[in-house]
């Protein structure tokens, strides 16, 4: 974690109207509001039910998993009293539950709740697009009230990391349709906070859970303000309407030097990439994809768009990850891009745009409106592509517009999971998940990559797994289904009124559960 002092532009705290997210306790940044916090985030979840995927990577404020990760990403017990006992050659994992844990409605946690949670997610009738992440589970059963036994289909080396998944109460969720029931918006969990209100598109409000097994949090009230536009989020932070916010690096840099606020930089697995759908006549051409990979200036994107808060992305794994395949780093090479296109018959026209057999080398690239970082990446990508003779038409749209077009149009997308290569790569690349929601958005289909993914998932031998993931990364250079651009650091700016804050190495999802508020329950007001 890197902590930096930042400078606020001069502005008095201004309370927004009732329609905005007002700070509890008389205003964000107020001297008497140390036990409450208002945080600006870019998006809200579609659901608050873990049965549909919410909180699957841990750090939900409402729920707990059997295990959790500490600041160094090491697994530690949560609802389980200890790390699992592993037996039968890695095919069984036995967890013993912590004594005395209750859901926020006062009902006790039992092994039946754990079994219900996993079985419901694994049920094909449940609309959980992350179900493939639990593919290794053959059976989950209770052994008395305080033990749960998982039996796997095959030894799955990182299985314990999957059990950070939040546990839900069977006595409430069990009587509902998991896809449409009220539990999706009125959750009950064992976590440090309880949801007290959700105004869609505006804010979520939480209060400290007085019966939390880990101790009652010192921060008593938390408001997550949904502010989609990066510039607006920065403005509201500057005005004092927000105590903290997730910001793009270049906007966070505008606050540099103020003793009243602190910036927190978190390294992440979060990357920005352009999906290149194979069903599109232009991006489906491998030479086009290879040429775009060579034409892009990743270093410039890190310097100019991210203000240095990130790293070039030469694939889905960051260059400092122990699983990264050394030697796949590659600089911008416009001459190489042009030679590839020339040899493949993509000839430049009078307007500079190449064509082959009457087909122009032109395609549309969408980015979600309001996301300045993605907008800047998309425009830089289009500029680089133009130099090679490929026209990229950049458009902004809502996800409601983008989602049905992902199979044929390119998207400036974001992905990345921490913990193990399988966690992020399988859903990103395996052909069996092509078009499954936001999984494998570009419908990438490469048998060699599928084989490497299956080997990495099913082997317990570290050397075998390393070889598989190295082969995968080298294959992505030869047959890119995405143009990987940058791995971004997540930057958060927060009023300097608390202590005990840390950051973790983060996945793509950030702001709502990650950031320095991943351990919000451990914060203490400064004396």
Report the distance separating Cα 97 and Cα 82, nearest Å: 8
From residue 138, how far is each of 93, 117, 207 by CA, in Å?
12, 15, 38
Domain boundary among the residues 182, 215, 242 is at 182
**Is 190 contained in some domain?**
no
CATH for 26: 3.40.190.10
Judge whether residue 32 has pLDDT over 60: no
Judge whether residue 23 has pLDDT over 80: no
Query: Token digits for 420?
Result: 């193990």
Per-residue confidence at 437, pLDDT binned at 50, 70, 90?
confident
Counting the structural domains of the chain, the total is 3
Q: Are residues 149 and 219 in the same domain?
A: no
Report the distance separating Cα 514 and Cα 55, nearest Å: 10
Tell me the Ramachandran region of residue 416: left when phi exceeds 0, alpha when psi lies from -120 to 50, beta otherwise.
left
Q: What is the pLDDT of residues 240-260, one digit of tens each?
A: 999 999 998 888 988 888 778
Percentage of the chain beyond pLDDT 90 is 80
Going by C-beta distance under 8 Å and a sequence separation of 6 or more, which residues neighbour residue 336?
A: 294
CATH for 401: 3.10.105.10
**Is 195 contained in some domain?**
no
Q: Classify residue 145 as exposed, middle or buried by CB count within 10 Å of its CB (0-12, 13-18, 19+).
A: exposed
Q: Are residues 304 and 387 in the same domain?
A: yes
Nearest to residue 159, comparing CAs of 218, 108, 201, 118?
118
CATH for 103: 3.90.76.10
Q: Are residues 311 and 429 in the same domain?
A: yes
Report the distance separating Cα 253 and Cα 351, nearest Å: 39
Judge whether residue 8 has pLDDT over 50: no
The length of the chain in residues reads: 527
Instruction: Report pLDDT for 10.
Output: 29
Q: Are residues 108 and 204 in the same domain?
A: no
Q: Are residues 469 and 507 in the same domain?
A: no
Q: Are residues 300 and 446 in the same domain?
A: yes
Nearest to residue 13, comparing CAs of 173, 281, 237?
237
Are the C-beta atoms of 354 and 453 separated by less than 8 Å? no
**Is 511 contained in some domain?**
yes
- The DSSP line for 325-367 is -TT------HHHHHHHHHHTT-EE-TTS-EEETTEESEEEEEE
Q: What is the pTM of this model?
A: 0.85
Q: Are residues 326 and 436 in the same domain?
A: yes
173 φ/ψ angles, rounded to the nearest 5 degrees: -70, -25
Lowest mean pLDDT among 8-22, 434-448, 476-490: 8-22
Judge whether residue 465 has pLDDT over 80: yes
Q: Are residues 142 and 285 in the same domain?
A: no
- Domain containing 504 equals 2-44+200-265+491-525
**Average pLDDT, integer, range 454-483:** 96
Judge whether residue 85 has pLDDT over 60: yes
The vertex-244 CA angle with 243 and 248, nearest 5°, equals 150
Are the C-beta atoms of 44 and 200 separated by less than 8 Å? yes
Q: Are strands 490-495 and 391-397 parallel, antiparallel or unpaired?
A: unpaired
Q: Are residues 259 and 282 in the same domain?
A: no
Per-residue confidence at 198, pLDDT binned at 50, 70, 90?
very high
**Is 188 contained in some domain?**
no
Judge whether residue 15 has pLDDT over 50: no
Q: Are residues 150 and 25 in the same domain?
A: no
């Amino acid at each position: 974690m890197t902590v930096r002092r930042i400078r606020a532009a001069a502005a008095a705290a201004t309370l927004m109207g009732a329609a905005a997210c007002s700070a509890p306790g008389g205003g964000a940044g107020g001297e008497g509001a140390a036990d409450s916090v208002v945080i600006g985030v870019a998006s809200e979840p579609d659901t608050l039910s873990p049965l549909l995927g919410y909180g699957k990577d841990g750090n939900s404020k409402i729920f707990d998993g059997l295990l959790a990760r500490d600041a160094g990403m090491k697994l530690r017990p949560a609802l389980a009293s200890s790390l699992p006992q592993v037996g039968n050659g890695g095919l069984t994992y036995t967890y013993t539950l912590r004594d005395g844990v209750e859901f926020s409605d006062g009902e006790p946690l039992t092994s039946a709740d754990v079994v219900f949670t996993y079985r419901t997610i694994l049920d094909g009738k449940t609309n959980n697009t992350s179900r493939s992440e639990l593919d290794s589970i053959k059976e989950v059963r209770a052994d008395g009230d305080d033990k749960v036994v998982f039996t796997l289909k095959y030894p799955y080396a990182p299985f314990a990391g999957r059990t950070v998944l939040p546990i839900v109460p069977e006595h409430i969720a069990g009587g509902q349709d998991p896809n449409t029931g009220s539990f999706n918006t009125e959750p009950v969990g064992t976590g440090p906070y309880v949801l007290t209100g959700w105004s869609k598109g505006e804010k979520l409000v939480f209060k400290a859970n007085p019966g939390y097994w880990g101790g009652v949090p010192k921060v008593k009230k938390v408001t997550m303000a949904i502010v989609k536009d990066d510039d607006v989020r920065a403005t509201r932070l500057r005005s004092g309407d927000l105590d903290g916010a997730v910001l793009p690096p270049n906007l966070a840099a505008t606050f540099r030097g103020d003793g009243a606020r602190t910036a927190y930089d978190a390294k992440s697995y979060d990357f920005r990439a352009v999906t290149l759908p194979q069903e599109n006549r232009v991006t489906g051409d491998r030479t086009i994809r290879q040429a775009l990979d060579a034409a892009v200036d990743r270093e410039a994107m890190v310097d100019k768009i991210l203000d240095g808060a990130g790293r070039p992305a030469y694939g889905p794994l960051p260059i400092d990850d122990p699983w990264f395949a050394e030697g796949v780093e590659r600089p911008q090479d416009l001459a190489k891009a042009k030679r590839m296109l020339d040899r493949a018959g993509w000839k430049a026209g009078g307007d500079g745009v190449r064509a082959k057999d009457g087909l122009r080398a032109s395609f549309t690239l969408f980015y979600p409106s309001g996301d300045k970082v993605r907008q800047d990446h998309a425009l830089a990508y289009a500029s680089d592509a133009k130099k090679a003779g490929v026209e990229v038409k950049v458009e902004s749209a809502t996800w409601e517009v983008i989602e049905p077009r992902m199979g044929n149009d390119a998207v400036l997308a974001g992905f990345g999971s921490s913990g193990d290569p399988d966690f992020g790569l399988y859903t990103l690349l395996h052909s069996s998940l092509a078009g499954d929601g936001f999984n494998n958005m570009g419908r990438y289909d490469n048998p060699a990559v599928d084989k490497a993914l299956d080997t990495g998932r099913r082997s317990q031998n570290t050397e075998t797994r390393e070889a598989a993931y190295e082969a995968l990364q080298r294959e992505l250079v030869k047959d890119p289904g995405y143009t990987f651009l940058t791995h971004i650091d997540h930057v958060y700016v927060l009023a300097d009124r608390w202590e005990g804050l840390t950051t973790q190495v983060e996945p793509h999802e950030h702001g709502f559960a990650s950031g320095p508020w991943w351990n919000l329950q451990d914060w203490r007001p400064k004396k």
